[in-house]
Amino acid sequence: MTERATDDRQDGPSADVIVLGSGLAGLTTALALAPLRVLLVTKTPTLYGGSSLLAQGGIAACVAEDDSPAEHAADTVVAGAGLCDAEVAAGVTEEGPEAVGFLERHGVVFDCDATGRLLLGMEGAHGRHRILHAGGDAAGRHLMAALAKAVQDAEHITVHDSTMAVDLALGEGPLRGLWAVGPDAVCRLFRSPAVVLAPGGSGALWPATSNPPEATADGLAMAARQGALLADLEFAQFHPTTLLTGPAAAGRLPLLSEALRGAGALLVDGDGHRFMLDEHPLAELAPRDVVARAVWRRRQRGEDIRLDLRPALAKRGADGFPQAVAACRAAGFDPFAETVPVTPALHYHMGGVLTDAQGRSSLPGLWACGEVATTGLHGANRLASNSLLEAVVFGRRVAEDILSSERRDALESSLPAPELAPPGCAGPCLELQSALRAVMGQALGVERAAPELDAVIAELQVLQDRLPAPGQESGDAAEIRTWLETRNMLLAARLVAQAALRREESRGAHFRRDYPMTRESWSRHISLTLSDLTASNEGPPLYAAG
């Protein structure tokens, strides 16, 4: 057990900029901030973690002669179902080739054919082959390995891994940095006038997800506690084809990339019927929400829905999809000889911290990029493989904006350290997390409706009330992290549920059984702040005024 300091502060390191998170967005931002001094804070034990690492699809960018940024932007806007910011979509797709160049300069090698031409894949709702891969479906691993090495070699970046962010240090004055707990379980103030949130998404809120367990909505909750504007929280994208590794499989399920369907893999029901032909002219390559609902509804009726990888494997070979083949084999399936069972699982949260086109949040001194941010690119439904592109483009934009802003020094401060998890709280917190995932699965899955949403909002409040109260003493680092993650998940879940209840229509990834049509009057964003949780007992952030 760690005796928490009762004095008014434990000073940590200081720098020009703090970047929270070590996915593609965080690493890109940190690299692009040179020569400013950067503290890169991440809760994972190495730089080799997070959702980016698991990305299979690759990065969408218009690099083919027969393609154009305008076409890529148009596909993005159609997928976004009326809620994309057309200017952001135009800008990001225009910057696609430059983003690819940035990655190549940092050591990423994209897959080419025998003549040296880039191999470009196809995915759902793209009008052209424009997805660059690296190592077949191991794109995330290849990108992250290259960027992690570049970060380790960069003199301007100091990495603090195994370090869990607690809260933004924001008192009455300007932002002073970030409270974070290191492996020694001590909460320190990491001081900087500029903080970039890039800690990833929220997949761990759902019972089945393609995300890693660390996707606990930390950035969303931290920004919310300080009153930042959040938007589009109701839009959570379900990937139609994760591998059902067992009859009651839950938690992180292996992704079977849409690139497989782009290369010919087929969805079939128990009779071997290719049911997507009945659902949409684009069949297996229909927009992701359409495919996810088609699979989900059949599974609800007890049907065994399967993906036949064989046409894709025949075309690209096992080398084209090493991760999919390995995942199938690990689960006891031979994808060369049989179809494999699939289910939709939470894949990407379009909602998050609202930013402008430079990645600035509504709080001065706070930027956001990557999955935690809502930049306007994805709207109600992200186009496949646009998120790695967004991570690089916005990571660089954020860095550029900070580099061109007036420089301020980190403020000396005398802020009281936040209170943390009481000893012995890990067990109760893990139970709360399981209960939270169960209610999210019931009410905030592929289809939603008011009665379930009302019930889940009440239930989440009950769970919130059961969160162990912070105390004068705290447990070890793992226990503190579990408590902080639980607190973040509870807050994020309550905000997501509120937004989903408010949007009385179906659009993009948000399908309301009680409002199955898209309504013109809802062609607008829902933005929320902490104060919108009217029945909240969240109270002020752990660190309030300083």
- Which of these segments, 12-20, 380-388, 451-459, 494-502, binds ligand SIN (CB under 6 A)? 380-388
- Give how far the C-alpha of residue 88 lies from the chain's centroid of Cα atoms, to the nearest Å: 19
| Min CB(83)–ligand SIN separation in Å | 18
Nearer Cβ to ligand SIN, position 28 or 56? Answer: 56
Site for ligand SIN, residues 55 to 84, rule: CB under 6 A = 56-57
d(CA 529, CA 368): 16
Nearer Cβ to ligand SIN, position 73 or 170? Answer: 73
Q: Could you identify the residue written with the tokens 């509870």?
A: 490
| Min CB(131)–ligand SIN separation in Å | 8
Compute how many residues bind ligand SIN; rule: CB under 6 A. Answer: 11
Three-class SS of residue 367?
A: strand
In sequence order, the 6+-apart residues with CB closer than 8 A to the CB of 269 are: 275, 298, 303, 304, 305, 306
| Min CB(237)–ligand SIN separation in Å | 8
Nearer Cβ to ligand SIN, position 321 or 522? Answer: 321
| Min CB(486)–ligand SIN separation in Å | 27
Give yes or no for a contact between 135 and 142, defined as CB atoms under 8 angstroms apart.
yes
| Min CB(340)–ligand SIN separation in Å | 15
- Which of these segments, 159-167, 214-222, 360-368, 382-390, binds ligand SIN (CB under 6 A)? 382-390
Nearer Cβ to ligand SIN, position 194 or 292? Answer: 292
Count Cα atoms within 13 angstroms, Cβ side, for 443. 26
- Which of these segments, 172-180, 381-389, 520-528, 537-545, binds ligand SIN (CB under 6 A)? 381-389
Does 387 sit near ligand SIN (CB under 6 A)? yes
For the question of residue 288 being annotated catalytic, the response is yes
Tokens of residue 31, six digits: 């690299």
Q: Name the active-site residue from 141, 176, 288, 293.
A: 288
Three-class SS of residue 34?
A: coil
Nearest to 127 by CA among 74, 195, 63: 74
- Give how far the C-alpha of residue 378 lies from the chain's centroid of Cα atoms, to the nearest Å: 12
| Min CB(347)–ligand SIN separation in Å | 6
Site for ligand SIN, residues 145 to 204, rule: CB under 6 A = none
CB atoms under 10 Å from CB of 414, counted, come to 11
Count Cα atoms within 13 angstroms, Cβ side, for 276. 28
| Min CB(68)–ligand SIN separation in Å | 21
Nearest to 346 by CA among 539, 215, 460: 215
| Min CB(364)–ligand SIN separation in Å | 32
Site for ligand SIN, residues 240 to 259, rule: CB under 6 A = 255, 257-259
Closest residue by beta carbon to ligand SIN: 57
Give yes or no for a contact between 203 and 471, defined as CB atoms under 8 angstroms apart.
no
d(CA 133, CA 119): 7
CB atoms under 10 Å from CB of 526, counted, come to 20
Q: Which of 31, 204, 267, 384 binds ligand SIN (CB under 6 A)?
A: 384
Is the sign of the CA dihedral 10, 13, 19, 21 positive or negative?
A: negative
Tokens of residue 367, six digits: 């930027």
CA distances from 493 to 434, 441, 460, 510 (A): 13, 11, 8, 15
Nearer Cβ to ligand SIN, position 42 or 257? Answer: 257
In sequence order, the 6+-apart residues with CB closer than 8 A to the CB of 412 are: none
d(CA 363, CA 397): 17
Nearest to 172 by CA among 411, 354, 402: 411
d(CA 142, CA 107): 9
Nearer Cβ to ligand SIN, position 375 or 387? Answer: 387
| Min CB(127)–ligand SIN separation in Å | 16
Nearer Cβ to ligand SIN, position 150 or 259? Answer: 259
Does 343 sit near ligand SIN (CB under 6 A)? no
d(CA 366, CA 195): 5
Nearer Cβ to ligand SIN, position 282 or 535? Answer: 282
| Min CB(510)–ligand SIN separation in Å | 17
CA distances from 479 to 183, 482, 542 (A): 11, 5, 17
Nearer Cβ to ligand SIN, position 57 or 69? Answer: 57
Backbone angles phi, psi at 141, to 5 degrees: -60, -45
Nearer Cβ to ligand SIN, position 15 or 384? Answer: 384
Q: Which of 192, 209, 343, 385 binds ligand SIN (CB under 6 A)?
A: 385
Does 289 sit near ligand SIN (CB under 6 A)? no
Backbone angles phi, psi at 474, to 5 degrees: -135, 165
Nearest to 241 by CA among 228, 255, 252: 255
Catalytic residue positions, numbered: 288
Residues of this chain that bind ligand SIN (CB under 6 A): 56-57, 255, 257-259, 347-348, 384-385, 387
